[in-house]
Chains A and B, each alone.
Chain A
Amino acid sequence: MSLRDSISGTSLRSLMGARLTRRSMLVRAGALGAGMALAAPLLAACGGDDDDDAPTATSAPAAPTATTGGAAEPTATTGGAAEPTATTGSVAQATPTIAPPPPTPTPGGATAEVGGTWRLVLGQEPDTLDAHKTGAYVSGVVHRYIGDTLIHKSPQGEILPALAESYEVTEDGLTWTFILKDGIKFHDGAVCDANAVKACYDRALDPEIKSAVTIGQLGPIESITALDDKTIEFKHTTSNAVFFDNMAHPVCSVLNAEAAAAAGDAYGRNPVLTGPWKFVSWEAGVEIVMERNPDYAWSPQYAGHEGPPYIQDLIIKIFPETATAVTALEAGEVDQIEINQADIQRIKDTGKYETIEFFRPGATFMEFNVSRPPFDDINIRKAFNHIFDREAILDAALEGYGRLLYSVLPQSIWGWWPGSVDYAYKMDHDKALEYFAASGWTKEGDKIVKDGQQFKCTFTTISGNQAQSNGSQVIQAQLRSFGIEMEIKTTDFTTVISDLKAGNYEVSYIGYAYASPDIVFIWFHSSNIGTGLTLSQNNSPELDALIDESRSNPDLDRRLELYMEIQKWITDNAIHVPLYEASTTYGLQPRIAGHLVHPDGHLHLLDAYITDL
C-alpha cells in the first residue's frame, strides 16, 4: 500500500470513527482537506503512526497453514488495488490535493496544446446515454467523458470529491451531505446547483423512468433534500456503507433532469451533462462524437491540471469485430483499441504502437451448483480444487495475458485478501483422492468410480468466448487424466445465465466484471438466488450475515476484515475453483501523452494531449 493510500485511509477512518461527534467530524474534515497537500510530506516523515491502524495487506489475520504439496504458486503482488478512501477537500486550492500522475514521456518532448482528435474504439454500441436507464459498461465509458459524478474514483483508485467540493457523513452512516463546487453548468448552459442534482436523482427514483442500475446504486433512500443552492443531503432508511462506492459509478453521473424531461425518449441519444467533453452526435452503429467543453472549470481533485481538457474532439468508433478493429488501427483509421489476444504480440512486434496492459476488475471461476449432485457434496468440491494445474488453464485460456485468481475477489478490487494466495487450494492429487474417498469414490485403474460408475459431470460454458473455449478443453483434459469424464455444454451467454440462475447446471465457466467488493452480495447472498446472480445457489445464513454487515458497517477496517472472512468462508466451503483474472491490452497510436488507465478500465484522457498537432 502506498503512503498516499495510508494517509487517506487513516483520514477516512478517523472521519468515520465512532469517537467523533458530527460537529468535530466536520471540523476535522475541513481542516484535513485544506491541509492535506502540505501535510503529506510531513506525514510521510512520521509514517510509523499511520501504519498502526492502516488496513494493510499484512494487517489481515495470519492465514491458516496452506494445504500440502502441489505446484508452486507464483507470488501475487500485494496492494494491487487502492483502498476506497475518502477525503474532503477544496478545488479552490491552487494545488490539487493529490499530485497528478507524471505525464507519459513523448517522443520529441511535445507540450500540452489544445486541439486534435482522438478516435477510440468500443466493441459494443452503448444501449442508451441516459445514465438512469443503462447498465452497460460501454455506456459508462462514454459517461466518463461527458459526465461527472459527485465523487469520483481517481486513476489511483481513491474516491475523491468531483462535482462535490466536500461531503460529510453522519456517524450512523444514514445521512450523507455533499457541498457542490461553485459555477457548475450543464452543457446546455443551465446551472447545476443542489436543486438540479436533487432533480437528477429524483428522476432516477421515479418508477416511470424504469431506472436500470442507478436506483439500486442510491440504495434505501428515505429522502433527497437540497438544503441550499450548494448543499444536498441524502437520507437512508438503513446504514448504507456501499453508498460511497456506488455514487462514483458512471450511472450516477449528474444529468440535467429538465433537459431529459423535455427530450423524453430522445434524451438517451441527446444527453446533457456536465463533463469535460460535450456530446455532439451519435450515428447509429458508427460513432459517437464529443467535443471539448471550453467552460469546464470543475475538474476533479485528482486532475493534473485545472480547466478544460486538451483534446478537442473525442470520437468513439463502434467496431463489433476485434479483427477489423486491429486492421483499422494498422490502417490509421482509429487511435485506440483493445487488442484481441491473438494480435497482441504481433502488434507489439511492429514497434509502431504504444501498448498498455492492465487488469480491469473482474474474475473468472469454475462455479459449482451446490444445491444438487454431484457438487452439493463439499468433499467433491474440495477434491476438484486440488485437481487442477491452474497455470496451464491460464496459459491456454488467456495465452498468458492474465494472472491466477485466489479467491472471490481479484487483486484489482479493494478488499482482496492477500492471505488468500497461501490459503487457496493447491494442486495435490493425493489430497483430491482423499476427498473423493471420503465420499465413497475410489480410483480404479484410470477412473474415479463409485458403485461401478465413473464420475461424470457437465460443464456449462459460453459460446463465442475464445478464452472459455481454450480453457474448458484444458480443464476437460486435466480431469480426464485424473479419471473424471466431463462433458462440455456450450450455449450463448443469455441462455447460460438463465440456466445458471435457475440452478439448471452442475458446474459452469463464469465470471464477473465489477469494480467494487460488494460483488460478494450480488454473487453470494441468498437473496439473489433465482432472480439474482447467486448462481451457486448457495444459501448460508452465516455467509449472509457477513455480507450484510459488509454492506452496512461504515468502518473501513471492519469492512476489510469482513471481506477477508467472506473470502475465507467461500474458500473453506469450496463454492468454486478460482481460475484467473484476465488482463486487457490497449493499442494506441503513439501520438498521445498524459494519458493513463483508470481502474475501471477506460483510458483517462482529461490530462491527455495530442503530440502531433
Chain B
Amino acid sequence: MGRFILKRVVLVIPVLIGVTLLTFMMVHLVPGDPIVVMLGDRATAENVERLRREFGFDRPLYVQYLDYVWSALQGDLGSSIRTRQPVLDEVLRVFPSTLKLTAAAVLVATVVGVSAGMLAATAKHRIVDFLTMALVLVGISTPTFFSSLLLILLFSLKLDLLPVAAGSGIKPLILPSVALAAPAAAVLARVTRSSLLEELRKDYVRTAYAKGLKDRTVMTVHVLKNALIPVVTIIGLQVGGLMAGAVIVESVFARPGIGRFAVTSINARDLPAIQGIALVAALIYVTVNLLVDILYGFIDPRIKYR
C-alpha cells in the first residue's frame, strides 16, 4: 500500500509538468495579449511595447517557459500580471471559498443522489422509480446557470428565505451548493440505482434472503457496500465536474472562488495566474482520485495494490 501511494505521488510530477506545458502552449496559441487587456483604451503602441519589455514578454517563448518552470520548482509561481500579486497568494485567498462550496456540493450530491438511487432501485418499475428517474433527467439536463437563477428567484426573491449573494455562515452556501450539486446528484442517482440492481441479482443476495434476512439488512449490510464501489469512483470523477461547475455558480451567486478567478484570468490572458490555477486544479483532481483509489481498499478488501 505504502509503495503504491508513493508511486502515485511521484507520478503527479510529470502530470503537473504536462499541465504547465499544455497551459503555456494553449495560452500562447490563442490570440490575445495581457498587456492590451490591462491597458484597455489606453493601449498606445508606446505603452504596449514598454510594458511587454518590462514584463519580459519580448523574450523567446522557450526562455519564458523555462524561466517559469525554474521559478515554480523553487516554489515561486510568479506574480499575476493583472493583479500584480503573487499567484499563490491569489489562489490561496479564493481557494477556501471554492473548497467550502465544492465540499458542500459533494455532500448534497452524495446524500441526495445515493438516497434517490436506493429509493428507485428498491421500487424498481414502480411509480416512485419513474418519478425519481424523471427528476434525475431534469437534474442532468438543466444547465447550472438556469437552475441557479431559478433557485435565486424562488428562495431569495419570492420566499425571501435565503440571501442572493455570498456572506458568512451556512445560509449563503445553501443555494449555490444545491445548484452545483444537482447534475452530480442526478448522475449518482442513476449509477447507484443500476449498481444496486446489478448486485441484487447476484447469488450472495439470494443466499442472504434464503437465510431469512430482512430486506433492510440485505440492502445495508451486504448489497450497499458492494454497490457503492462504482459510486465512489463516480464521486471522485465528479469532483472535476464540480470544480468546472463552480465557474458558473460562483459568478451567478457572486461568490469568490477559484472558478471566477480562472475566468477573469483567462479573459485577461494572465498567464502566471492561469498556470497557477491549472496546477492547483490538477493537483486537487489527482489527489481526490488517489484518495478514491485508497478508499477502494477499505470498501473492498479483494482489491490489492501493487
Contacts and interface: CB of A to CB of B under 8 A. Distances in A.
Interface in A214-232: 215-216
A532 B48 contact: yes
In the complex, which of the residues A133, A135, A268 has the most CB atoms of chain B within 10 Å of its own CB atom?
Answer: A135
Contact of A324 (B32, B40, B165, B256): B165
Given A213-B47, A495-B31, A497-B32, A286 B254 contact: yes
Given A210-B55, A498-B33, A501-B36, A324 B152 contact: yes
Contacts of B46: 216, 527, 532
B111 interface: no
B83 A127 contact: yes
B258 to A, nearest CB: 10
Contacts of A512: 41
Nearest to A134: B38
A544 interface: no
Given A125-B264, A318-B254, A499-B31, A528 B45 contact: yes
Interface in A527-542: 527-533
B54 interface: yes
Given A497-B32, A531-B49, A324 B252 contact: yes
Interface string A323-363: 11101101101000000000000000000000000000000
A513 B40 CA distance: 9
15 contacts: A127-B83, A135-B39, A135-B40, A213-B39, A265-B84, A268-B85, A285-B257, A320-B260, A331-B163, A492-B32, A494-B267, A494-B269, A512-B41, A531-B45, A531-B49
A285 B255 contact: yes
Contacts of B107: none
B32 A532 contact: no
Nearest to A133: B84
Given A285-B261, A324-B252, A494-B269, A521 B41 contact: no
Contacts of A135: 38-40, 42
Given A265-B85, A330-B157, A494-B32, A324 B166 contact: no
Nearest to A208: B54
B86 interface: yes
Interface in B241-262: 250-257, 260-261
B51 interface: yes
A545 to B, nearest CB: 18
Nearest to A207: B54
Contacts, number: 162
A125 B44 CA distance: 24
A54 to B, nearest CB: 30
Given A285-B94, A333-B165, A320 B51 contact: no
Given A128-B85, A210-B55, A213-B39, A532 B165 contact: no
Contacts of B86: 265
Contact of B41 (A210, A495, A522, A527): A522
A210 B54 contact: yes
B45 A532 contact: yes
A286 B166 contact: yes
A191 interface: no
Given A265-B85, A331-B160, A513 B41 contact: yes
Interface of B: 30-33, 36-51, 54-55, 79, 82-86, 90, 93-94, 97, 149, 152-153, 156-157, 160, 163-166, 250-257, 260-261, 264, 267-269
A149 B156 CA distance: 41
A494 B41 contact: no
Nearest to A130: B84
A210 B51 contact: yes
A514 interface: yes
Nearest to A209: B54
Contacts of A320: 251, 254, 260
Nearest to A532: B45
A317 B166 CA distance: 10
B168 to A, nearest CB: 10
Contacts of A213: 39, 42, 47
Interface string A459-502: 00000000000000000000000000000000011110111010
Nearest to B251: A320
Nearest to A268: B84
A212 interface: yes
Nearest to B258: A285
A76 interface: no
Going nearest first, the 5 A-B pairs with the smallest beta carbon separation are A285-B256, A494-B32, A498-B31, A532-B45, A531-B45
Contacts of A215: 47, 50
In the complex, which of the residues B37, B40, B97, B254 has the most CB atoms of chain A within 10 Å of its own CB atom?
Answer: B254
A321 to B, nearest CB: 5
Interface in A503-559: 512-514, 519, 521-522, 527-533
A215 B85 CA distance: 20
Contacts of B79: 265
Interface string A89-131: 0000000000000000000000000000000000011011010
Contact of B267 (A137, A265, A492, A499): A492
A92 B118 CA distance: 79
A331 B161 CA distance: 11
A382 interface: no
B42 to A, nearest CB: 5
B252 to A, nearest CB: 5
A243 interface: no
Given A128-B82, A317-B254, A331-B157, 17 more contacts: A207-B54, A212-B38, A212-B39, A268-B83, A285-B256, A286-B254, A324-B165, A328-B164, A331-B156, A331-B160, A494-B268, A498-B32, A501-B36, A522-B42, A527-B45, A532-B45, A533-B41
